[in-house]
Amino acid sequence: MTVNFPPGFLWGTATAAYQIEGAAREGGRTPSIWDTFSHTPGKTLGGDTGDTATDHYHRRADDVRLMADLGLGAYRFSVSWPRVQPTGRGTANQPGLDFYRALVDDLLDHGIRPVLTLYHWDLPQELESAGGWPERGTAHRFADYAHLVAEALGDRVEMWTTLNEPWCSAFLGYGSGVHAPGRADDLAALRAAHHLNLAHGLGAQALRAALPSHGQVSVTLNPGVVRAFTGAPQDVDAQRRIDALATRIFTGPMLHGAYPEDLLADTAAITDWSFVHDGDPAAIRQPLDSLGVNYYTPTVVAAATDNGGPPGEALEPSPFPAATGVAFHRPPGKRTAMDWSVDPTGLYDLLVRFAEEVPGLPLVVTENGAAYDDKPDGDGTVHDPERIAYLHAHLDAVRRAIADGADVRGYFLWSLLDNFEWAYGYSKRFGAVHVDYATQVRTPKSSARWYSQVARTGQLPPY
Ligand code: BGC
Ligand code: BGC
């Protein structure tokens, strides 16, 4: 059966500055933590860096035309902080702002709605050298930066997002250290999480102050879909602990104005949380126009003690502070090239969870997609039936969530282009559009054609 999405539903793709722009040393841009990290031997697969990436900085106009040809109505991109404010403080770097102004103008000329994310992981290196996210000052720097970008682009960008996936910034960046800046320190990770929350709150206030009244403010999280391996009480408790560290550490203060009591108790051996000042939770809880959720795959946990089933594994290195005793299990089913299980019910569960937890707050799927080993055929086309299957199943999950009452306003496929997949370098292809990195030639995959049809018609065809 063909099903219709609501009128006005936003159909788009998403990217992030460091993953696509390249031009790392042009236009006054300074290094971010990802430049430093990717240039450190052993940190990324094959030593890949974002120096050139997909060269989007120089191919901006062509890339926008590509989106227009695909009939996409929205585009979620991020601003590179060190491109527009190279030292992380003080006045703006005009060439940096000019790039984003030109991008936004191109998008608007083609009737594509710009959805701007202020922070997708590329902290100016100077701010990391001053202590990074574990330091409170970084949250204030972020608010200044948010204000500066809003002043420059607020006349033409309506939809603003403060942070992308602060979980990854805090716990992959400072906990397990597999992402920039590559620190492995549980206390630093928890401090980073709080200061990212504070940055969101102060940043949202700065946006409200600078944007016209129709400006919309959001944040994008990657809430964990954490499942207990069995219904045994110790497995359910492991689920509760990881849910606190993966999701409620952000949604607690952002949506409800307080850190969860169980999180504070679970982490008491690491910190007394005295870095949370009076008034912080209130500053973090700001009115939002929507909540962005990113979803790829669920997490299955159990207590490390014997529950009668097969043993799970500890995560090594673990991004979760104080999560000793929790075992992670491989979910069943098909897998993507990331070795992530394909489970659209997780997206349904997530949307319904937030529809119930924060009634009245519109939701946007700001990222969803899959990596596969896509290769051009002899005739130059790229066929990716597995991605079409993935997208179909997840859009069907969105459709079911809407039917069950979730107010979902849009869907952004990750990603427009194959790009720099962080620590995996260029080895993982998430794009609807194939990129030949030697020539920078873009080739829409069959999934791009398929998604284009869905976006144009607002209809999910039978599968
Ligand atoms: C996912 C999160 C998840 C976390 C813990 C991350 O890679 O993006 O959604 O909560 O892993 O497994
Ligand atoms: C991030 C993207 C990343 C994608 C796939 C999300 O966690 O926001 O930058 O490329 O997942 O790993």
**pLDDT 10s digits, 347-384:** 999 999 999 999 999 999 999 999 999 999 989 899 99
User: Is 0.90 topped by the overall pTM?
Assistant: yes
Residue 257 has pLDDT above 70, yes or no: yes
Report the pLDDT value the prediction gives residue 84, as an integer from 0 to 100: 98
421 is an annotated ligand-binding site residue = yes
Between the CA of 246 and the centroid of ligand 1 the distance, in Å, is 7
Work out the angle between the directed axes of helices 94-109 and 137-153 (0-180°, nearest 10). 50
d(CA 290, CA 267): 30
Task: Give residue-wise pLDDT tens across range 298-310.
Answer: 999 999 876 677 7
Question: Which residue has its alpha carbon closest to ligand 1 atom 9?
Answer: 224
Q: Tell me the average pLDDT of the chain.
A: 97
Catalytic residues: 165, 367
133 touches 170 (CB < 8 A): yes
In angstroms, the CA 370 to CA 372 distance is 7
Was 120 annotated as part of a binding site?
yes
- Whether residue 367 has its Cβ less than 6 Å from ligand 2: yes
Give 86's pLDDT tier (boundaries 50, 70, 90). very high
183-218, pLDDT tens digit by residue?
A: 999 999 999 999 999 999 999 999 999 999 999 999
The response to whether residue 299 sits with its C-beta less than 6 Å from ligand 1 reads yes
pLDDT category of residue 149 using cuts at 50, 70 and 90 = very high
Pairing mode of beta strands 290-294, 363-368: parallel
| pLDDT tens digits, one per residue of 2-60 | 889 999 999 999 999 999 999 999 999 999 999 999 999 999 999 999 999 999 999 99
Question: Is pLDDT larger for residue 370 or for residue 315?
Answer: 370
How far apart are alpha carbons 340 and 332 in whole angstroms?
10
Tokens encoding 332: 């069943």
Q: What is the pLDDT of residue 270?
A: 98
Does residue 65 carry a pLDDT above 80? yes
How far away, in angstroms, is 364 Cα from ligand 2 center?
16
Q: At residue 245, what are phi and psi to the nearest 5 degrees?
A: -80, -25
**Does residue 16 have its Cβ closer than 6 Å to ligand 2?**
yes
SS3 content of the chain, % helix, strand, coil (to 5): 40, 15, 45
ipTM given for this complex: 0.86
Structure-block tokens of residue 271? 């910190």
Q: Residue 307: what pLDDT?
A: 65
Q: What pLDDT, on the 0 to 100 scale, is given for residue 463?
A: 80
Q: Is 176 in the pocket of ligand 1 (CB under 6 A)?
A: no
The residue ranges of DSSP E strands in 159-208, in sequence order, are: 159-164
Question: Is it the case that residue 344 has pLDDT exceeding 90?
Answer: yes
